[in-house]
Amino acid sequence: MKRRPKLAVWKFASCDGCQLSLLDCEDELLALTERIEIAYFMEASRATVRGPYDLSLVEGSITTPYDIKRIQKIRRSSKFLVAIGACATAGGIQALRNFTEVEKYLPLVYARPEYIHTLEKSSPIAAQVPVDFELRGCPINKIQLLELISAFLQGRRPNIHPYSVCWECKMRGNICVMVAHGIPCLGPVTHAGCGALCPTYQRGCYGCFGPKETPNPASLSARLRALGVPEDDLVRLYRTFNAEAEPFRQESAAHE
């Protein structure tokens, strides 16, 4: 029998939701393990297989000096390394610390801040080591995760589109919440992948999947301003789970 490729799942600062998406593939999980060996996945198993690994899925952002060393070691033992989710691709919600001084945060949460070791900034995986692919979303979409693993097994590029949420919204046949109801929506600048969930539920997109390819957030902001969105709300709108993604970071700063 041909050797099954080895899959490893790694966690950094995160909520565990993206790696949970793998366990949420209830229909596919057992079949998947026939094609790929789950060699390292601490959330699911106390058994671990030594590297090197053929495919590493990395969840979470880098926030401690120790984690910088850990990701470098993981990179060295991984043939393909894929960052999964907004924490790993853009620093996550915890990157909100990058817009202030982290020393100010510590005493707000911890009575004895001297016990805590942390970096000033929360950074995406690609800021520390070369990354072979980034799967977006807060959380990632499990169908896209399966597509990614299938593509890896077949030796092809994953069929994941970098266009906007608006595309998915139109394909679903939704009525535009911004045009029809004046609801502020980040759909025009946000990377597809969720299936335009929020507009389908009558709310504006809030940007979980981060910026699409070549976005034009300045133009969207002008429209949002015309809808009556105040400047400080614009800052908040771009500054959530993908706050550190460059186009969103710049646009939020422009309204400060």
Number of Cβ within a 10 Å radius of residue 75:
17
179-201 burial, b for 16+ CB within 10 Å, e for fewer?
eeeebbbbbbbbbbbbebbbbee
Helix (H, G, I), strand (E, B) or coil at 64: coil
Does residue 188 bind another protein (CB under 8 A)?
no
14: nearest Cα among 62, 55, 57, 52:
62
72 contributes a contact to another protein by CB under 8 A:
no
Beta bridge partners of 13: 61
Put residue 63 in one of left, alpha, beta given phi > 0 → left and psi -120 to 50 → alpha: alpha
Kindly report the number of other CB atoms within 10 A of residue 109's CB atom: 8
Using rule CB under 8 A, residue 24 touches another protein: yes
Nearer to another protein, 132 or 187 (CB): 187
Nearer to another protein by C-beta: 108 or 226? 108
Instruction: In angstroms, give the least distance from the CB of 75 to another protein.
Output: 19
Q: Is 176 in the site for another protein (CB under 8 A)?
A: no
Q: How far is the CB of 52 from another protein (least distance, A)?
A: 19
**Across the beta sheet with 37-41, what order do the strands follow?**
37-41, 6-11, 53-59, 78-84, 133-135
For another protein, the closer CB: 132 or 229: 229
Q: Which member of 1, 3, 30, 180 binds another protein (CB under 8 A)?
A: 30
Determine which residue in the list 194, 220, 234, 245 makes contact with another protein, applying CB under 8 A: 194
Backbone phi, psi, residue 252, to 5°: -65, -40
Question: Which residue lies nearer to another protein by CB, 43 or 213?
Answer: 43
Q: Which amino acid is located at 9 in the chain?
A: V
Q: Which is nearer to another protein, 69 or 157 (CB)?
A: 69
Q: Does 15 bind another protein (CB under 8 A)?
A: yes
User: Which residue among 4, 5, 29, 75 contacts another protein (CB under 8 A)?
Assistant: 29
Contact footprint for another protein (CB under 8 A): 11-21, 23-24, 26-27, 29-30, 33, 38, 42-47, 63-64, 67, 92-94, 96-97, 100, 102, 104-106, 108-112, 115-116, 118, 138-139, 194, 197-198, 200-203, 206, 208, 233, 236, 240-241
